[in-house]
């Protein structure tokens, strides 16, 4: 892949860099869709004002039936993303600088930040935050999946776990909002999710260290 | 079944409709269970199954009179048998308590329920489950301080004693009270039942049960099923009747602060994102960035 990761756009001069394979994108789409469905069905059962959302899933009973199964899909789908991307999300020294400069980050002044690899500190926090929360949501979700697992824990345990599940879900939704907003705010990002590639300029501006690595890889492969 | 049109609704789960006016001083109906009169015959259990058309499976004996071994989605009431060695008298006392829904004035099940109208409280105090709105999530089980509701594995809805709301709506009393051969179960207005309990307690005290008393726990706002206990100072000896039942603080957090704080945080995040975009504008890749990238890539070629 690395040899072909940089190529000229068919229209002309601009460079295009491959960022995600088709399988990685499919994996991400399954995760994204499950997370949205889980948020909608979960919120429906979280607040009576949102109970009307159960209509999207065929009523209250069906919402209750399907929510945990979507959770199972999300868990395994996210596990796939984890295996793909955990290495690229290991913490680097420049991540501390990035994190310590919220002004530069939020105003888009990336010239004031160090050159960033494949992921910046914010993306890594999304990754590790979601990893932790999805693990908590999965285990707590099994605990309160009364249809199959009622007998395995006490009611006292379930009372605490149901609060934990709700709190973790709210945190996951907050991270998801940040994740989606960042992808919208930073123009040129969403095509990585849809087409799998980004422009050279996008990589230069936001992930220059990664771009240099890709260029170097291309050179090493004689590309 | 739907909520009973013959009874006035006081509260509905997962909705904040204003309650109707209830006559002041009217504290509704109550069932009084006099534990000291109960002989453990289980006529109440049989009557409950029969009237409510429930079918308990044939069980097996594990050396206890309790049959079935716990409340189930079929058996909404259960005689619990406890043998208690009274340290003061040296007597072995056989304590038989008819377990079932207490019909709390402050019902934890109703507070925990996420489905509008699946749990209702009538103005007469009866707390009832409305199966057609029940989604089978089991939240009521977590809300209940008495461990009463049971999820039916067949119907996937939760059941418990209805206090025979259908019979009460047409002027009758609960089937269990009707069937009891020793009048250990009485039914009437809560005021009448308290008066009757007072007489029974005075009688018990005169016969040496100095700690006899009424179980109408204040922690859940009082209940519409009350017990006369000969040892009211030790309700736990009656197969674990809680001394001070109250809705778990966790349920309060979950259904109170968490709901408000959770939605507020999510709303704030969305608003924050919009505001940020308005102030900061889109982060756009410039032509210069593209040229530099091309230059870098060509340098590599």
Q: pLDDT tens across B121-152, in order?
A: 999 999 999 999 999 999 999 999 999 999 99
Nearest-by-Cβ selection for B142 from A47, A155, A219: A155
> What total number of domains does chain B contain?
2
Neighbour-count burial for B261-284, b at 16+ CB within 10 Å, e otherwise? ebbeebeebeeebeeeeeeeeebe
| Domain-ending residue, one of B229, B247, B265 | B247
pLDDT at A19: 96
Residues B164 and B271 in one domain: no
Please give the radius of gyration of chain A, using alpha carbons only, rounded to the nearest integer.
20
Q: pLDDT tens across A1-18, in order?
A: 444 588 776 666 678 999
Residue A70 lies in a domain: yes
Nearest-by-Cβ selection for A166 from B118, B137, B254: B254
Arithmetic mean of pLDDT, A150-165: 97
Residues B147 and B38 in one domain: yes
Residue B295 lies in a domain: yes
Residue A47 belongs to what domain range? Answer: 12-89+101-220
CB contact set of B253 (below 8 Å; sequence gap of 6+): A163
Q: Which of A6-10, B14-18, B294-298 has the highest mean pLDDT?
A: B294-298
Residue A94 lies in a domain: no
Q: pLDDT tens across A61-87, in order?
A: 999 999 999 999 999 999 999 999 999
Residue A5 lies in a domain: no
Beta bridge partners of B11: B121
> What total number of domains does chain A contain?
1
φ/ψ of A205, rounded to 5, equals -75, -40
Residues B266 and B160 in one domain: no
Beta bridge partners of A17: A6, A198
Q: Chain B contact for A6, CB < 8 A?
A: yes
φ/ψ of B26, rounded to 5, equals -90, 105
The reply to whether residue B289 touches residue A205, judged by beta carbons under 8 angstroms, is: yes
Arithmetic mean of pLDDT, A207-215: 95
Q: Identify the DSSP state of B67.
A: S
- For B20-29, B111-120, B167-176, which range has the lowest pLDDT when averaged over its residues? B20-29
Q: Is residue A179 flagged as an active site residue?
A: yes
Residues B187 and B270 in one domain: no
Longest dimension (CA), chain A: 65
Residue B147 lies in a domain: yes
Q: Which residues of A touch B285 (CB under 8 A)?
A: 187-188, 199, 201-202, 204-205
Residue B156 belongs to what domain range? Answer: 9-247
Mean pLDDT of chain A: 94
Residues B221 and B273 in one domain: no
The reply to whether residue B273 touches residue A167, judged by beta carbons under 8 angstroms, is: no
**CA-wise closest residue to B66 among B55, B80, B52:** B80
Percent of chain B residues past pLDDT 90, beyond the cut = 87
pLDDT at A1: 41
SS (H, E, C) A81-120: HHHHHCHHHCCCHHHHHHHCCHHHHHCCCHHHCCCCCCCC
Residues B285 and B195 in one domain: no
pLDDT at A10: 63
Beta bridge partners of A18: A197
Residues B15 and B147 in one domain: yes
Which of A28, A179, A206, A207 does the annotation list as catalytic? A179
Please give the radius of gyration of chain B, using alpha carbons only, rounded to the nearest integer.
27
Residues B198 and B294 in one domain: no
Residues B197 and B295 in one domain: no
Residues B270 and B122 in one domain: no
Residue B1 lies in a domain: no
pLDDT at A223 over 60: no
Residue A212 lies in a domain: yes
Mean pLDDT of chain B: 94
Q: CA A191, CA A28: separation in Å to the nearest integer?
A: 13
The reply to whether residue B290 touches residue A204, judged by beta carbons under 8 angstroms, is: yes
Residues B292 and B241 in one domain: no
* pTM of the predicted protein model: 0.92
**Is the ipTM value over 0.95, yes or no?**
no
Provide the CATH number for the domain around residue A19. Answer: 1.20.950.20
Q: CA A180, CA A130: separation in Å to the nearest integer?
A: 13
Q: Chain B contact for A2, CB < 8 A?
A: no
List the alpha helices (DSSP H) in chain A.
Answer: 22-46, 60-85, 93-99, 102-106, 121-143, 146-149, 155-185, 190-194, 200-206, 208-220
Residues B52 and B179 in one domain: yes
Residue A148 lies in a domain: yes
The reply to whether residue A159 touches residue B259, judged by beta carbons under 8 angstroms, is: no
The reply to whether residue A162 touches residue B142, judged by beta carbons under 8 angstroms, is: yes
């Amino acid at each position: 892949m690395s040899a072909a990761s940089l190529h000229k756009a068919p229209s002309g001069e601009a460079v295009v860099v491959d960022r995600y394979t088709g399988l990685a994108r499919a994996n991400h789409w399954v995760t994204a869709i499950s997370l949205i469905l889980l948020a909608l069905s979960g919120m429906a059962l979280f607040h009576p004002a949102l109970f009307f959302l159960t209509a999207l899933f065929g009523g209250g009973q069906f919402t209750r039936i399907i929510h945990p199964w979507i959770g199972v899909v999300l868990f395994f789908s996210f596990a796939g993303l984890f295996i793909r991307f955990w290495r690229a999300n290991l913490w680097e020294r420049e991540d501390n600088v990035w994190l310590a400069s919220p002004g530069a980050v939020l105003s888009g002044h990336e010239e004031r930040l160090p050159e960033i690899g494949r992921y910046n500190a914010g993306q890594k926090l999304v990754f590790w935050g979601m990893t932790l929360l999805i693990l908590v949501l999965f285990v707590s979700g099994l605990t309160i999946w009364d249809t199959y697992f009622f007998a395995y824990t006490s009611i006292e345990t379930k009372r605490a776990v149901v609060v934990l599940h709700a709190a973790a879900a709210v945190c996951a939704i907050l991270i998801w909002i940040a994740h989606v907003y960042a992808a919208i705010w930073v123009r040129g990002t969403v095509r990585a999710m849809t087409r799998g590639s980004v422009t050279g300029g996008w990589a230069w501006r936001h992930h220059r260290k990664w771009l240099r690595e890709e260029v170097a890889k291309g050179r090493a492969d004689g590309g | 079944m739907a909520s009973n049109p013959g009874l006035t609704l006081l509260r509905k789960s997962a909705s904040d409709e204003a309650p109707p006016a209830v006559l002041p001083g009217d504290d509704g109906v109550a069932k009084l269970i006099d534990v000291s009169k109960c002989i453990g015959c289980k006529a109440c259990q049989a009557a409950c199954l029969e009237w409510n058309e429930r079918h308990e499976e044939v069980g097996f004996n594990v050396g206890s009179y309790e049959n079935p071994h716990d409340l189930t989605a079929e058996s909404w009431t259960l005689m619990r048998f406890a043998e208690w060695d009274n340290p003061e008298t040296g007597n072995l006392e056989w304590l038989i308590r008819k377990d079932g829904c207490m019909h709390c004035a402050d019902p934890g099940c109703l507070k925990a329920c996420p489905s509008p109208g699946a749990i209702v409280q009538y103005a007469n105090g009866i707390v009832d489950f409305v199966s057609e709105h029940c989604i089978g999530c089991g939240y009521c089980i977590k809300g209940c301080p008495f461990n009463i509701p049971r999820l039916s594995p067949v119907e996937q809805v939760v059941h418990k004693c209805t206090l025979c709301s259908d019979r009460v709506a047409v002027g009758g009393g609960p089937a269990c009270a009707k069937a009891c051969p020793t009048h250990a179960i009485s039914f009437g207005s809560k005021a009448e039942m308290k008066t009757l309990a007072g007489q029974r307690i005075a009688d018990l005290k005169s016969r040496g049960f100095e700690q006899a008393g009424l179980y109408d726990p204040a922690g859940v706002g009082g209940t519409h099923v009350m017990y006369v206990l000969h040892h009211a100072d030790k309700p736990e000896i009656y197969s674990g009747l809680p001394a001070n039942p109250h809705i778990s603080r966790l349920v309060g957090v979950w259904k109170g602060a968490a709901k408000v704080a959770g939605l507020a945080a999510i709303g704030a995040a969305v608003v924050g994102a919009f505001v940020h975009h308005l102030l900061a504008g889109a982060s756009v890749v410039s032509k210069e960035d593209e040229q530099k990238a091309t230059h870098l890539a060509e340098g590599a070629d």
